[in-house]
C-alpha cells in the first residue's frame, strides 16, 4: 500500500492563514477601549485648561495628558490592525497612564477639585490595560500567522 503525501497548495496555505488572522472581538474591544481612554485624557486636558489655573510643575499636566491621549488613540488604531508591538506599547503606556492619572485624580480631589472626568480617566485607563492584556493571545496568533504566510510567499500585512 503506497501512501502518497502531497504538500498543501498555496491556496490552502493562504486560506488557512487568512482564517488565523480573523480579528477577535476582544481585540476590537481592546482597541476601542484604548482609544476611548485616550479621548478621556484629551478631554481632561481641555477641562484643566478651562477650569483651573495651574502653577509650577502642575502647569505641564495638561500637556502630559494630551501626549498620553494622542498616543492612546494612535495605539488603539494599531491594535485594531492586530499589531503585537502596538499592543505591548499600549499595555505599558496605559498602565503608566493609569498610575499617573490616578495620582492626579487623588491630588486634585485632596485639594478640593473633584471631577467626574478626573475619576473616569484612571478607570478608563485601567479598563484599557485589562482588555489590552486579554487581547495578547489573539494578536500573537495573528502575528504568527503572518510569519507563516510570509514564509510561504504571501504578504498578509493587512
**Per-residue model confidence as pLDDT tens digits over 42-63:** 999 999 888 878 888 888 989 9
Q: How many CB atoms lie within 10 A of CB 31?
A: 26
Give this prediction's pTM.
Answer: 0.83
Q: What is the domain extent for residue 87?
A: 25-151
Asked if residue 36 is part of any domain, the answer here is yes
How many domains does the chain divide into? 1
84-110 vs 25-51: helix crossing angle, rounded to 10: 40
Task: For residue 130, give the C-alpha cell.
Answer: 485589562
Q: In this predicted structure, what is the pLDDT of residue 140? A: 87
Asked if residue 12 is part of any domain, the answer here is no
Is 14 exposed, middle or buried, given 0-12, 13-18 or 19+ CB atoms closer than 10 A?
middle
Asked if residue 158 is part of any domain, the answer here is no
Q: Which residue, among 72, 77, 68, has the nearest Cα to 48 in the 3D structure?
A: 68
Amino acid at each position: 500500500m503506497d501512501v502518497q503525501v502531497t504538500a498543501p497548495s498555496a491556496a490552502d496555505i493562504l486560506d488557512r492563514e487568512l482564517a488565523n488572522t480573523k480579528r477577535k472581538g476582544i481585540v476590537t474591544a481592546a482597541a476601542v477601549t484604548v482609544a476611548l481612554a485616550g479621548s478621556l485624557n484629551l478631554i481632561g486636558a481641555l477641562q484643566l485648561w478651562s477650569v483651573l489655573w495651574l502653577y509650577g510643575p502642575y502647569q505641564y499636566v495638561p500637556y502630559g495628558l494630551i501626549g498620553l491621549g494622542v498616543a492612546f488613540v494612535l495605539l488603539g488604531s494599531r491594535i485594531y490592525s492586530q499589531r503585537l508591538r502596538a499592543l505591548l506599547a499600549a499595555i505599558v503606556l496605559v498602565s503608566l497612564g493609569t498610575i499617573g492619572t490616578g495620582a492626579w485624580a487623588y491630588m486634585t480631589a485632596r485639594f478640593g477639585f473633584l471631577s467626574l472626568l478626573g475619576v473616569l480617566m484612571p478607570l478608563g485607563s485601567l479598563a484599557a490595560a485589562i482588555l489590552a492584556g486579554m487581547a495578547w493571545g489573539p494578536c500573537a496568533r495573528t502575528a504568527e500567522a503572518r510569519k507563516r504566510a510570509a514564509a510561504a510567499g504571501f504578504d498578509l500585512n493587512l
